[in-house]
Structure 1
Amino acid sequence: MKTKPVSSSITTCLSITDKAIKLVQSKGSDIVSLQAFVFSHKSDEEIARGMDLLFKGKTQKDLGRFILLIPRQLAALHYVRLPSTKPDEIKEMARLQAAKQLPYEPQAIILGYQVIQVTPEGYSDVLLIIVHQDIIKKYLKFLEKNRLEPQEITIDSQGILRWYNLQKASGPKDSALIVDFDSGYARLDIIAAASAVYSRAFSMSIMSDESKQKLLDEINKSLSAYEKENIGIKPEQIIFTGAEELSDAAKDSMASKLPFTCVKLAQAQGISLKAEGLSQREDFQKHSFTSLLGLALSSDELPFNLLPEDTFLKRQKSAYKQQLRATGIVTSLIIAVIITSMVLHISARKRIIHHLSAQLRELSADVDKVEMMSKKLNYVKTQLGQSSECLDTLTEIFRIAPNDISLAFFGYDTNKPIVLKGQAKTLSGVFNFVNTLEASEMFKEVQVRYSSKRKVKDAEIADFEIVCPIEEK
């Protein structure tokens, strides 16, 4: 399985060997923490105690990109030539080849692979990296107790490649055989074509005469095995590094026995080490941090990831659930904000309506008073209008009435004809009065309701009642 590295300015690398737990942490181009917990005797209890001490007060977030390194001697490496250059086909062929290499069920192994080179004939030289799943899952359990999860798992030879790239400013060649000494064992890696093309591990504790001969034999054996792989890229020099008490002695004893230039490089050469959280000087004497330093200072994507597939899927599922929960929380917050806004808006509207209602109630009494005053004013105005009309009518009647007409009654009612009662000296005088009223612009259709003659003291008078409708203006 291959995954992209976590984007972070902090990288943490962890390695658990037979002798110690080693931790290196970088920030940018600086090493900010380098520590080792040395076992008094290796046991699950000692590993757990070392983990607790090294990761005390640290959380997953503090680690940034977290890489677990598996010691080379716990992995089986095999070289195969596959008749394809297509990634999907190579992946499937690699699985089939891995099942043939070890006496384990396919589900019991974890496989990584790296394409070393592609031949002109269309073949791919592939390095198979095979680790039993129990080894990796055991390490993961120790980390889970501290609530820590590495995003990537690889073998330590991948770190030596990146450490070697950091040393190129010091003069290393494009290809080299690197012997990295650690407490209790040594690892031999051949670097060529910007890849770790060969790796081998063997036990090595002290640099006695017997150990020096063993080292020489292991180097020659590795070179012979490497040549049989027909990779075709030969190392140009041998570099000794790692535990300083071993690398110094190895360089001096091998210089005259090998047909290569022998170089000794300090494991921290050319690397910026900050004072905080650094291991004791004696740890550099007995232990190797080269692979951890190389990976901690590299942002390159690893060619393979030995993280178990079921663990990867479990984490993806957990991350998906967390994302769903986070989405649910955010959605709930948005809904709550909307509802709160609506409630506040409604509450504000209610307060405004209540305030306006109170003001309207205060104004209603004044409105009632104003309406009553308006009615009274209209009534007075009407009455004044009527009084004016009545006076105008009466004035007009007396203006045009002949001298022989005597009015005894003047009846006026709004929107009704005027009633005139009186006496005239003769009946003809009554009808002359009617004609006079008809001639006025104020009256129309004047009628004599009745007229009669009677004697008063030897004289005749004519009583009358006249109805005069008023001409509308």
Structure 2
Amino acid sequence: MAIFNGKITTSVEISDKYIKLVQIFSKGTETKVIACVFKELSASEPTAAVAALQEILSQYNIKPKSLILTIPRQSVTVKSVKIPSRDPQEIYEMIGFQAVKQIPYPKEEISYGFNVTDVDSEGYSKVMLIICHRDAILRPIEILKNCGLSPAKVTLSSFGLLNWFNLRGDLSTRSEASPIILVDCDTYNSDIAIVRKGKLIYTRGLTFGSAEGAHYYEKLADEIGKTLPIYEKETQEGRPLEAIFTGNTSELAHSKSELERSLNAKVEFMGSFERVPLSIATPFQPYVAQASYSSLLGTAIGPEEVDLLPKALKLTSQIRIKKRELTISAILILTVITSASFVIWNKIYQKEQELEILDSKLKDTAPLASEIEKMRSTSEVIKSQLTKKTEALDVLNELYKIVPPQIYLALYTYDGEKVELKGTASVLSDVFRLVTILENSPYFQNIEVRYATKRKIGSQELIDFEINCPLSKRARGGK
């Protein structure tokens, strides 16, 4: 049985006569019963209980995760003591000594818990001490263990009855004025609890229940009558003015008037499921009227008021819970890492696929690209040659414009980077004037006269010269 987005809590009670189980579903403020089972045992041996519980779990597909074991009231001894402390840890240590005094068993053979019912002005705590032989707890725990289950908590049915009672705020408020008796009428036992201001102040367990039939009313009324004087003496509280009966009350309903006269209190009957909505499947319907589920509902809903789980088992349970939490955390971390790795790997794979596609396309276009590159190179060569021819003509045109008429040029050499001029002048000053003219031209720079020598032809004197003219950036086409 699984319900998502909510919490399922299972409460179970195991005796040598029966197994009783309740499951509740809670989500936010919503709480409802989704399973209830009551099964009588064929024998008192633990093996019979194991077989019966396994049958219940298998037949109804019940898989308890949050499990609470409820111990019947008649299986424990309850005493009221005063402890000179308010600290829970100190109280727990002190009641250990008190517990040994209350029952005739060695300390290692008992299990105990406590609930603080009041604290006085002097710092003393009034404590309800719950004691039992360890077998009363270890026996059902062993049965659960043989079914693959382990309880997170072990509590007392009387506190479950208290929680069930407190589900309705109006009843809790009514107990402010005066104590209220709660009587849980189960099949084989009965639980008497007295509540004051919403807290359990007295409890007593009876070893008979509604299975007594017609005699149940007389026996129950007699035991309640015996209980009240003891309660008043131990608690110093007033006499209850109200009594609420829950569970299998069909044998009592016709005796309401007699009960009110006997108890001198107003009597009210309430079904177990009047406090919690019943939302169970058809297979569970026959079990509804077979037992009282009030205390189990209360222990499942909480809050728990006492934990009877032995210290060693409590430590084991805490370690197991911690291991489970660590395991879940490790699984979540591994899941996140795996998911992240998958995303990264997938992206890398996609990139590799894209690169393979690009490589394939490049291979297909390589011949065309090679042909285009050849065409580009040829174009560059042609462009370069055309540029050089144009530049040479531009330089020659510039020289034609600027060289004075008295200068005779015999040789003009152009190599793309410079121009070499060889010629003849009448006087040396004309050569230097030419140098100045060339330097002022935008086509030349860093003019160098390599030589200027005199020679005679007859009576006439001439100057032969050679000038090196590096081309400017403009003359080289802006390169």
- TM-score range relative to shorter protein: 0.7 to 0.9
Q: Higher Cα Rg: structure 1 or 2?
A: 1
The residue correspondences of 1:252-291 to structure 2 (distance < 5 A) are 258=262, 260-261=264-265, 263=267, 265-268=269-272, 270-271=274-275, 272-274=277-279, 276-277=281-282, 279=284, 284=289, 287-291=291-295
Match of 2:226 in 1: 221
Pick one of 387, 391, 403 that aligns with 1:381.
387
Spell out, residue by residue over 1:7-49, the C-alpha distance to the aligned partner (whole angstroms, 9 max, x if none). Answer: 9664433222343222233343543433211223333233223
Spell out, residue by residue over 1:218-274, the C-alpha distance to the aligned partner (whole angstroms, 9 max, x if none). Answer: 334323332331432322244544333543477576565x35236361434744434
Distance 2:402 2:193 in 1: 140
Spell out, residue by residue over 1:166-187, the C-alpha distance to the aligned partner (whole angstroms, 9 max, x if none). Answer: 5786998642334433333333
TM-score by length of 1: 0.72
Match of 2:441 in 1: none
The answer to whether the 8 A contact 1:110-1:131 is kept is: yes
Find the residue that maps to 1:77 and give its secondary structure: strand
* Structure 1 residues 33 and 331: CA distance shift in structure 2, 3 A: closer
* Structure 1 residues 354 and 399: CA distance shift in structure 2, 3 A: farther
Match of 2:72 in 1: 71
Q: Which amino acid aligns with 2:77?
A: A
Spell out, residue by residue over 1:336-369, the C-alpha distance to the aligned partner (whole angstroms, 9 max, x if none). Answer: 5555565566667775699499599776764565
* Structure 1 residues 247 and 377: CA distance shift in structure 2, 3 A: same
Match of 1:327 in 2: 329
Q: Which amino acid aligns with 1:21?
A: I
Q: Which amino acid aligns with 1:140?
A: I
How much does 1:386 deviate? 3.7
Find the residue that maps to 1:91 and give its secondary structure: helix
Match of 2:241 in 1: 236
Find the residue that maps to 1:36 and give its secondary structure: strand
Match of 1:23 in 2: 21
* Structure 1 residues 194 and 269: CA distance shift in structure 2, 3 A: same
Distance 1:33 1:467 in 2: 124
The answer to whether the 8 A contact 1:192-1:235 is kept is: no
Match of 1:126 in 2: 127
Match of 2:188 in 1: 184
Distance 1:438 1:81 in 2: 130
Find the residue that maps to 2:413 and give its secondary structure: coil
Find the residue that maps to 2:319 and give its secondary structure: helix
* Structure 1 residues 419 and 153: CA distance shift in structure 2, 3 A: same
Farther-moved stretch of structure 1 (95-104 vs 432-441) = 432-441
* Structure 1 residues 252 and 283: CA distance shift in structure 2, 3 A: farther
* Structure 1 residues 392 and 122: CA distance shift in structure 2, 3 A: closer
* Structure 1 residues 334 and 219: CA distance shift in structure 2, 3 A: closer
How much does 1:156 deviate? 1.2
Match of 1:85 in 2: 86
The residue correspondences of 1:135-214 to structure 2 (distance < 5 A) are 135-165=136-166, 174-204=178-208, 205-206=211-212
Match of 1:48 in 2: 50
Spell out, residue by residue over 1:90-110, the C-alpha distance to the aligned partner (whole angstroms, 9 max, x if none). Answer: 232222211322333434332
The answer to whether the 8 A contact 2:157-2:295 is kept is: yes
Distance 1:168 1:438 in 2: 123
Find the residue that maps to 2:81 and give its secondary structure: strand
Structure 1: which 5+ runs fail to align?
A: 1-6, 402-406, 421-430, 454-460
How much does 1:80 deviate? 1.0
* Structure 1 residues 214 and 58: CA distance shift in structure 2, 3 A: closer
Aligned length: 436
Q: Which amino acid aligns with 1:310?
A: A
Structure 2: which 5+ runs fail to align?
A: 439-448, 472-479
* Structure 1 residues 365 and 338: CA distance shift in structure 2, 3 A: farther
Spell out, residue by residue over 1:56-107, the C-alpha distance to the aligned partner (whole angstroms, 9 max, x if none). Answer: 312235xxx5432111111121111223334343232222211322333434
TM-score by length of 2: 0.72
The answer to whether the 8 A contact 1:140-1:149 is kept is: yes
Distance 2:87 2:240 in 1: 29
For the aligned residues, what is the CA RMSD?
Answer: 4.6
How much does 1:318 deviate? 3.0
Match of 1:3 in 2: none
Q: Percent of counterpart pairs with the same letter? A: 23
Match of 2:111 in 1: 110
Distance 1:200 1:323 in 2: 39
Distance 2:357 2:169 in 1: 82
Distance 1:328 1:112 in 2: 35
How much does 1:113 deviate? 0.7
Match of 2:413 in 1: 413
The answer to whether the 8 A contact 2:155-2:306 is kept is: yes
Q: Which amino acid aligns with 2:11?
A: C
Farther-moved stretch of structure 1 (99-108 vs 367-376) = 367-376
Pick one of 40, 47, 58 that aligns with 2:62.
58
The residue correspondences of 1:324-473 to structure 2 (distance < 5 A) are 324-336=326-338, 355=358, 358=362, 366=372, 369-371=375-377, 373-386=379-392, 389=395, 400=406, 410-414=410-414, 415-418=419-422, 447=452, 450-451=455-456, 466-467=464-465, 469=467
